[in-house]
Every structure is written in structure tokens, then in C-alpha cells.
Structure 1
Amino acid sequence: MTAKTGKTGKIPLTWLYVPGDRPERVAKALVAGADVVIVDLEDAVAADRKSYARAATSELLSDRHHVPVHVRVNALDGPLARLDIEALADRPGLACLRLPKVTAPSQITRVAELADSLPLFALLESALGIESAYAIATAHPSLTGLSLGESDLRADLGIAADTGLDWARSRVVCAARAAGLAPPPQSVHTDLYDLNDLAASCARGRALGFLGRAAIHPSQLPVIERAYLPTAEEIAAAQEVTKAAATDAGALALPDGRFVDAAVVAGARRTLALADRRPLA
């Protein structure tokens, strides 16, 4: 399945987190150039600021914005998540609820009922969440995407080396694809200053099947976008595939012997959709 586009018509590549108790930062995030802004009510907000963050976010979402706004609610196994959902679900500016630390499909169905089928996005942050990835991905039609919460997952698994998460990453990519969801975006890169390492990490994520990435600072956005935009060579190859497919409704082989079927054509079309974002030379 090809990635779904947002209200702007673009396939999302950048998702910018911002604390819900800092309205001035939220205002800056909305004009920072991200494809999606994620207002965080969970990890980024101290316990004594939760009520204020919820109220400020509710006020923010009383109007629609030119950028889709998602909200990450508090942990589903605590009392705050229900308060968050009840306060925000009917806000006209809310595009999606992001659900942290999901471990079971029943959590998705309960939130879907409470939120009146508002679009949902599940974050898998534990071994149990990873083991349940496909069941979660297919739990309810309101679920529009999956992603990893790698900091919590790393702690849960006791993993130090970054490559130790590659199996979990591939599991989530496969679960999303099997469920007909868009390719997942990568989890955040927590080092704000090492943009070279961010670029290298994005290249690895792209090779694993991710599409785009969450960020925690606007300086990370152009690095992520560059890493996930197709190269000139990839665009040329995609154009060759779609041109050949336009002249033959069935499976076919290109002049160089490459076999082309429906899945290859779908991938080529996604590449060309992303190519529209490339800056002019």
C-alpha cells in the first residue's frame, strides 16, 4: 500500500514533537516546516503541568491549522488518558490521537469508542507491544499508523547497541504493511547536535522500510527530509517503471530484464509522489 497523504496533499516525512504546556513553542512549531506537529501531553510534560497542558491544547485545537496537529495523550493504563481524550476528541483542529505504550488491540478499540472513531496512531514501546504489532495494527479501522518508541523499548529490552533494535524495527514495518497501513515513520533521534549521525540513522531507517521520521527540534527537519527524498537515479527508475506499466496492464519486464508487477509499480508511484518535494536544481 502506498503512503497516505495529509491535508496538504504531501506524503508526510517530518513529524515535530512539542510540549503541550509550552504554547509559545507550539506556535513556533506550527510554522517550522514540519508536515505534522505532535503536541505531547505525556513524557514532555511534568506531572504538575498536565492539567494546564490539556487545557492549553484544547484551546489551541478550537481552530483548524494549516498543518495537521496530532496529540500524544498520556499512558492508556492511567487516569489521565481518558481526561485527555474527552477534552480533545471533538476539537476541530485535532487530526489524530497518538497513543503511547500500546500493548494490546483492546486498548485501540476502547479509545476508538471513546473518541468516536477519530484517527488513531499507536506507539509500540515494549516487548509486549512488538509481539502484538499485527493484532494492534488491525484492531480497528480508526488506526491509521504504527511507530516505535525506541527509548522505552531499548530500556525494556536492555539493549545498548542501536542495531539491537533492528529486529523490532523490521517487525513494525512488516506489521504495518500487512495491515495495509502506510510505512511507519522512524522514532526520534535524541541527539540534537549530531546532525551527521541523524542523517546516517535516517539512511539506515529508510533501508529498513521506514518512511520519514519524528523530530524533537526544528533543526532536524531538513536533515530528515533530505534523507527520505528520492535521488535523481531513483526518480528516473520510477519513471521508467510507471511508463512501462502505462502500456501494459499485466506483469511485464523492462528492457534491462527487471520484472515489474503491481507492487513494484505502487512503489514507483510513491517515489514519484515524493519527487514532487525535491527542490529545483
Structure 2
Amino acid sequence: MTTGTIPLTWLYAPGDRPDLVAKALVSGADVVIVDLEDAVAPDRKDHARSATAELLTDPQPVPVHVRVNALDGPLAEQDLKSLFAAPLPGLAGLRLPKVTSPDLITRLTATTGATPLYALLESALAVEHAHAIAAAGPAVRGIALGEADLRADLGVRHDAGLDWSRSRVVVAARAAGLPAPAQSVHPDIRDLEGLAASCAHGRALGFLGRAAIHPRQLPLIARAYLPTTHEVEEAEAVVRAAATERGAQALPNGAFVDAAVVALARRTLALAERR
């Protein structure tokens, strides 16, 4: 991913499997997330830490984030000691699972410094504190939902039952001046039709991009979040009109153009550059 490119795909890879991490790095994902948490068995945690630290001693071809273990448990402290024992040029950010309050972020930055932090909200309490977490400090660069844990916490059986929480996180991120959040993973790697439908729904809710657990999901996610040819043409018309006229106006097709419409059009064109 080149500097300034808007990330759309975030691929998880288990930290105790350097072979899979190596494949993830050349998969085309915009960001690779090396996982020390759920994807690693308890007896493999030490190996995952050492392998990840070794990998990140060198710069990597794409940004690499590390998902540490839950901050309220003993494993996270060991993860952080391993990652911050010496400079790691390949570390582009930390994914923080099960964040429930801004205090956890504040305490963490004493160790992590200016390393970009991405908070995962995975409980009802976390969703209630979404804006406070998003605004916890300059090191926070993004928030996102962890939908599997949130679903269990809420007792939600149907996907639509999470839509209020999804919208809450989208609003909280933007209110804190953060980028629109990426969607949570689609756990069935064979269900590409379901993934496409879910991405379309997420895009309508205001998400931008998605985390993935298998490389086969990446092209579909990217396509789902890239603007269509028609959307690009509409955005170009808006920007042209804004460059030649002042104030609010209507396009020939009757669409009303003001500053907010122009801002959305420019975002569409920025995404279209990825084509």
C-alpha cells in the first residue's frame, strides 16, 4: 500500500505461523494483522511473540499491525514487553482487543508511546464508551467492532441485531475525527455470496473496508468498497461544478450540490484512484 492510499482490506494471520504471515504479506492486503490473541493456542503464545518480534525487526512491504491479547489479562503485558523491548521498524500499529474504557488506552501509551493504536470494541460496555475510547488520545488512529464477542455479550442471534452498535461505532469514529471504521470479519470463508451482501450492507451503514481471515476474501472486499463507474462519474460532475461555481447549486440532473456533497464526492474519487 502506497503512502496516502486508503486501506480497504485488513488480513489476519496467526503469529505462531510465520509461513502464513509471509503469505499474507504478499496477498495484496492493504494491512496485515499478526494475531497473538484468538488465533494462537495458549501453549504457542511464547513462540508467537518471538516469531513476531523477529519478523518486525525489518521493515515490511505493507503495514503490519499486531493484535495483542486482552489488556485486562496477564498475556498482554508479556506481548508488550516482547514488542517494545527494542525498536521494531516493521511495527505499524497495535490492535487492542476488548477495550472497554479510555483509561485502558491512557495507561497503555506509557509503554507504547506514539505507536498507532486501534481499539476493538467487543462488549456492550465498550459500545457505550465508543466515543470516549475513540477520543482517548492522539495515538488512537481507529476503532472497530469485534462482532463475535459482541454478539455473545448481547445474546443477538440475527445479524440485524448488531446494526445499532455498528452505527454507533461509525458515528463515534467520525465524531472523534477518525477514519470510518472497517467492518468486522465474515467468519465463513466459503460464503462469498454472504460476504458480498454483508459488505454492501456495511458500506451503506458507513463502514470503509473490512478485516478478513483468508486471502480469498480480499478481492471481493476491495470490489465491494470501491465506487462503481456510475458513482465516479457522478462525483466527477460534482467536483467540476464546484470548481466553476460558487455556493450551493443544482446539477443538470437536478442533484443539489453544496459543501457536504462536494466532500463526499472527493472521498469517492480518492477511493477510485485505487482502480
Normalised by the size of structure 2, how large is the TM-score? 0.96
State the Cα distance separating 1:249 from its structure 2 match.
5.2
**In 1: Cα distance, 2:80 partner to 2:264 partner:** 36
- Give the equivalent residue in structure 2 for 1:188: 185
State the Cα distance separating 1:16 from its structure 2 match.
0.2
- Give the equivalent residue in structure 1 for 2:23: 28
Q: Which of 140, 147, 165 is 1:143 aligned to? A: 140
**In 2: Cα distance, 1:184 partner to 1:50 partner:** 28
- Give the equivalent residue in structure 2 for 1:198: 195
Moved over 6 A (4+): none
Q: Which of 218, 221, 224 is 1:221 aligned to? A: 218
Aligned pairs (5 A) from 1:46-65: 46-65=41-60
Aligned pairs (5 A) from 1:47-126: 47-89=42-84, 90-126=87-123
Count of aligned pairs between the two proteins:
273
Instruction: Check conservation: 1:86, 1:115, Cα contact below 8 A.
Output: no
Aligned CA RMSD, in angstroms, stands at 1.3
**In 2: Cα distance, 1:209 partner to 1:273 partner:** 16
Unmatched runs of 5 consecutive residues or more in structure 2: none
Local SS of the residue matching 1:71: strand
Calculate percent identity across the aligned residue pairs: 70
- Give the equivalent residue in structure 1 for 2:206: 209
**In 1: Cα distance, 2:102 partner to 2:196 partner:** 34
Listed one character per residue, the Cα deviations across residues 87-108 of structure 1 (whole Å, up to 9, x for unaligned) are 2243110000010001000111
Amino acid at match of 1:29: A
Q: Which of 243, 267, 272 is 1:270 aligned to? A: 267
Instruction: Check conservation: 1:7, 1:68, Cα contact below 8 A.
Output: no
Normalised by the size of structure 1, how large is the TM-score? 0.94
Unmatched runs of 5 consecutive residues or more in structure 1: 1-5
Local SS of the residue matching 2:211: strand
**In 2: Cα distance, 1:142 partner to 1:263 partner:** 28
Local SS of the residue matching 1:77: coil
Instruction: Check conservation: 1:62, 1:93, Cα contact below 8 A.
Output: yes
- Give the equivalent residue in structure 2 for 1:258: 255
State the Cα distance separating 1:245 from its structure 2 match.
1.7
- Give the equivalent residue in structure 2 for 1:3: none
